[in-house]
Structure 1
Amino acid sequence: MKKLLIIFILMLSIKGFAQDFYFSGKMNYCTPENSESKKSFETAFIGLNYPKYYGGVTALLLKVVEKDPKFCDAYFMAGYFFRLQEMHKEALALYYIADSLSQNKAPIFKQNLAIQFMRFGKVDKAREKYEEMVKYFPDNPEGYYGIGNTSIVIGDYDKGLENLKQAEEIYKKSGKVKDDVIYMYGMLYTMKEDYEAGLPYLEEAYGTYKNDEGYLSLYSLSLIKVGKTRNDEKMIKKANKMYNKIKNKEGVPDIKKRLTAEFS
């Protein structure tokens, strides 16, 4: 299950539906108690453009929360900088504090906390955060999308598809549907063993994910399953071609067993 998590779940982008505005530095979910805290916080956004200073900016933000312990945004940004430095345990702890202090006002805190939970295999906790997003921010597609994403590991594929549809409808209102959504449909249907339904989505996602081995595993499996059902030699040949592109045949245990049964 953990390999499934690593290969598929972490395809999630940290920057989602409404996060770019937050990272402009023009808003806060918690009010700092002194002006110096606000100035230091704003400095952090400038630091995002200079990786060599990430450590220094993180230290600055930790000083801010020490003096201003209710300033949830400073906790979040400190966690964000820790994540950028691959210090994931520290990021998780600070995201958790930020989310708690924000009192359900910050979808970006919940989303980043959920992704961090998923990184550590705590999918149930991630699901809780995505469900909170749906409850408190029903017009934000990322909560629904996150529930769909966690369904890959939890195994409640129908619930995942239902929530993914909700996410898709909201994405449509704001512009083009993300390629991740198309891929996620194909992924959920394939995991559900509904290969006929999933294959068109995987076909559509090919241009974006053709070099991703997790995608190739799902695509080749769906191709050969549908090809055999239809007795379509051309499709079976294509399935073998896609399968041969996979360098790591061990892959994900759940998928490996199915692939071995079809291609051995």
Structure 2
Amino acid sequence: MKKIFLLFIATSFLNANSQTLEEKIAKKACSCLQKSKEINEEIYRNCLTNSMSEVVLNDKDAKVREGINTVEGIKSLLQKSDATIGKTCPDLVPKTAESKSDIYYSDSKNKEAQNSYQVAKGFMRNKNYKSSIENLQIALKQDPDFVLALDDIAVCYRQLEDYDNAIKYYKKSLDIYPEGEYALMNIGVAYTLKSDFKSAIEYYEKLIHYQPDNAEGYFGAGKSYFAINDDEKALTDIFIAHRIYTADKSDYTKDTEMLMGVIYQKMVKENKEAIFKKIAAENNITIE
């Protein structure tokens, strides 16, 4: 009987400690979600990412930390943990960001607003941005929460080099749909055109937060960090963007390669070649 009892204890101990990394993250994330009265996409994402960081940092196995040193590693663990949360506490999982995207990036339910929007799109195609703005304003009077109209009116102002108004309307769009990738990416561009690189970084980093597998956020942030002479942060973001572009077989790899070369030459002149190679190695980038 004692042997059986000891065997039971040993088996229970092994089962308690045989949790996978994603199961540990899911357990902690579910506990985090239970503390919230109302769960939205941002609260869910924060519980997931904070739980992942805490579990990984507290794990004594160095291989666990090495496993998330790459974009692929981070994405893989996020996806596995997300799926495990769905099984562990399915009632605490909000609607996916993709379904929200479909909701907000859709036609207006107001027929008059939609008709004015279609007229505006015709003017945009002909590069008649002032007439497009007039019709988009009409659309927005009929439907003030029309995200596509807000984004497009910002585009028109940007084409007219009225960056302040472009930013104003991108912010209105983000007030309605904070995760909007289109507005986040392009408000970063607008701030860059104003040479306000710190503000550009703020919005590119929001894009990274909401879409960690979107290379545009890293690329935009990297260029902005480089513009304010923060070469190390610039390099890290550019390397991540390069890895994603490479995995997607995107032509933008040429742009990241060119910028990596520029940063390398600058850091060599500043006797920082060793730092460049260190950051490259951390991102699994081979320097020939």
Q: TM-score range by the shorter chain?
A: 0.5 to 0.7
Do residues 122 (structure 1) and 196 (structure 2) align? yes
| Higher gyration radius (CA) | 2
Residue 10 of structure 1 corresponds to none
Question: CA, structure 1 residues 172+197, in 2 after alignment: closer, same or farther (shift >3 Å)?
Answer: farther
Taking the aligned partners of 2:171 and 2:152, their CA distance within structure 1 comes to 12
| Counterpart residue number, 1:75 | 150
Distance 1:148 1:134, change over 3 A: same
Q: Is the contact between residue 116 and residue 138 of structure 2 (CA under 8 Å) also seen in structure 1?
A: no
Alignment of 1:145 onto 2:248: no
Give 1:167's aligned amino acid. A
Once the two structures are superposed, the pairs formed by residues 35-184 of structure 1 within 5 Å of their partners are 35-51=111-127, 53-104=128-179, 106-178=180-252, 179-184=254-259
Aligned residues: 171
Q: Which amino acid aligns with 2:141?
A: E
TM-score by length of 1: 0.58
Superposed CA RMSD: 2.5
Distance 1:28 1:82 in 2: 21
Contact 2:104 2:177 in 1 (8 A): no
Q: What is the TM-score normalised by the length of structure 2?
A: 0.54
Question: Secondary structure at 1:192's aligned position in 2?
Answer: helix
Distance 1:42 1:191 in 2: 48
1:70-124 per-position Cα deviation (integer Å, ceiling 9, x unaligned): 11221110110111122222212112211222121x2111011011112222211
Could you tell me which runs of 5 or more consecutive residues in structure 2 were left unpaired when the two chains were aligned. 1-101, 274-288
Cα distance in 2 for partners of 1:162, 1:45 equals 38
What's the secondary structure of 2:125's corresponding residue?
A: coil
| Residue identity matched to 2:119 | T
Q: The residue matched to 1:43 in structure 2 has which SS?
A: helix
Q: What secondary structure does 2:145 align onto?
A: coil
Give the gaps of 5 or more residues in structure 1.
1-25, 199-264
Residue identity (%): 23
